Amino acid sequence: MMPLVRLTGLSVAFDGAPALRGIDLSVAKGEAVGLVGESGCGKSVTWLAALGLLPAKARITGSVMLDGQELIGAPAPVLERVRGGRIAMIFQDPSSSLNPVHRIGKQIMEALGLHRGMTGSNARAEAKRLLDLVGIPDAGRRLDAYPHELSGGQNQRVMIAIALAGQPELLVADEPTTALDVTIQAQILELLQSIRRQMGMALVLISHDLGVIAEACERVAVMYAGRIVEEAPVAQLFDAAAHPYTQGLIGALPPMDGPRRRLAAIPGGVPEPWAMPPGCGFAPRCQFRSAPCDAAIPGLMGLSDQHRAACIRVAPAAMPLERIPA
């Protein structure tokens, strides 16, 4: 089946420093894919680049195909129809992601006008329906509220309503719960899942928290230093993580039962774009590092039909990605 969105060799550099170094990732219609990695790995940049939302100084190469249409370098009117109309995106900090001087109803109706040609009382009725759908109580009156009059969790619901206004085929949710209280986090995750089921919409959930992704996604891509280092269905990833970085992330998860203990976080930090290691990006933090790790960047190798990892320790029998029919 042809994927809805396919990123191929997507690379981004800021002032010559590589933030993304060749991302290959596809998302099928209706699928829920998680993108996980520590802060600074390039998760946000990946999808901002795909939608053309990075500042002009960003040098973008590679390809982003949406249903057979190339988005990298596409003219502005094409991108404007895609943004919000076919691929919607919501962000980490809902309260500053909404315009403080406009009523939330107006902000939803703007998207309705752009993508569904709705205006006036039609648009208002639909905006109210969307607020109802995302679980805002007293939706009719809330249309006239300003973002500062709502809580963070409610604002994230409004962001979701705006995202849904264009009836997109894919919703990219970039750390949608990171800025919220734990109980609110769970509600927003639940809302995203139920909406996805109702609408048959694909979801890319970006998070630094593997636990969040495990809950809401079918497939996970693990990012490190501007590359995807492992990709697998969720269950398979937890059963048989192949990349030392993924193993580290799983090791850092709090146990399901028993008292909360201190997380076994991976020592060290994510390399900055201007100081990328020559070979495997994870090498400076990896306990299995050996000379070949620094010689060249390891490519993604297929471990099984749907499981690939980019580490020289992955079974030598595994096939290079290129030879696996996608």
Partner 1 sequence: MLRFLATRLARAALTIAMVVTFAFVVLRLSGDPAQIIMGADAPPEAVDAFRSAWGLDEPIWVQYFSYFWAILQGDLGRSMRDGRDAIMLVTERIPATLALTLPALAIKICLGIPAGIYAALHRNSLADRVVMIIAVAGFTVPSFVLGLLLVLVFAVQLGWLPSGGQESWRHGILPVMTLGLGGAAVLARFTRSAMLEVLGQPYIRTASAKGVPWRAVVTGHALPNAAIPTVTIIGFMVGTLIAGAVVVESVFSWPGVGRLLVVAVANRDLAVVQCILLLVAITMVCANLIVDLLYGLLDPRLRAAPRKAA
Footprint on this chain of partner 1 (rule: CB under 8 A): 48, 51, 53, 76-77, 80-85, 88-89, 91, 93, 96-102, 110-111, 114-115, 146, 148-149, 159, 162-163, 165-166
Minimum distance between the CB of residue 139 and partner 1, rounded to whole angstroms? 16
For residues 122 and 116, give the distance between their C-alpha atoms in angstroms, rounded to a whole number: 11
Whether the CB-CB separation of 10 and 64 falls below 8 Å is answered with: yes
Question: Quick check: 41 binds ligand ADP (CB under 6 A)?
Answer: yes
Spatial distance between the Cα atoms of 318 and 120, rounded to a whole number of angstroms:
59
264-294: burial string, b at 16+ Cβ within 10 Å, e else? eebeeebbebeebbebbbbbebbeebeeebe
Q: Give the contacts of 307 (CB within 8 A, at least 6 positions apart).
A: 231, 232, 233, 236, 237, 240, 242
Question: 213 and 180 in contact (C-beta within 8 Å)?
Answer: no
Answer with the entry of partner 1, ligand ADP, ligand SF4, none that 44 interacts with (C-beta below 5 to 8 A by kind): ligand ADP
Contact range with ligand ADP by CB under 6 A, out of 41-49, 152-160, 233-241, 248-256: 41-49
Q: Which is nearer to ligand SF4, 169 or 230 (CB)?
A: 230
* Whole-angstrom distance, CA of residue 149 vs CA of residue 189: 23
The region of 34-42, 131-139, 212-220, 307-315 touching ligand ADP under the rule CB under 6 A is: 34-42
Q: Name the residue nearer to ligand SF4 (CB basis): 128 or 243.
A: 243
Nearer to ligand ADP, 37 or 166 (CB): 37
Q: Is 14 in the site for ligand ADP (CB under 6 A)?
A: yes
Dihedral pair phi/psi, residue 115, rounded to 5°: -105, -20
3-state secondary structure at position 216 = helix
Name the binder of 60 from ligand SF4, ligand ADP, partner 1, none, CB < 5-8 A by kind.
none
Spell out, one character per residue from 266 to 305, where the chain touches ligand ADP: x when CB under 6 A holds, - when not.
------xx--------------------------------
Residue 109 CB, nearest distance to ligand SF4 (Å)? 49
Among the candidate windows 39-47, 128-136, 196-204, 230-238, which touches ligand ADP by CB under 6 A? Answer: 39-47
Whole-angstrom distance, CA of residue 98 vs CA of residue 189: 20
Q: Binding residue for Mg ion (CB under 5 A) from 32, 33, 36, 44? A: 44
> In Å, how far are 124, 185, 316 from 110, measured between CA atoms?
10, 27, 54
Scored b (16 or more CB within 10 A) or e, 208-242 reads: bbbebbbbbbebbbbbbbbbbbbbbbbebbeeebb
* Distance of closest approach, residue 293 Cβ to ligand ADP, in angstroms: 21
Provide the binding-site residues for ligand ADP, judged by CB under 6 A.
14, 19, 37, 39-45, 55, 272-273
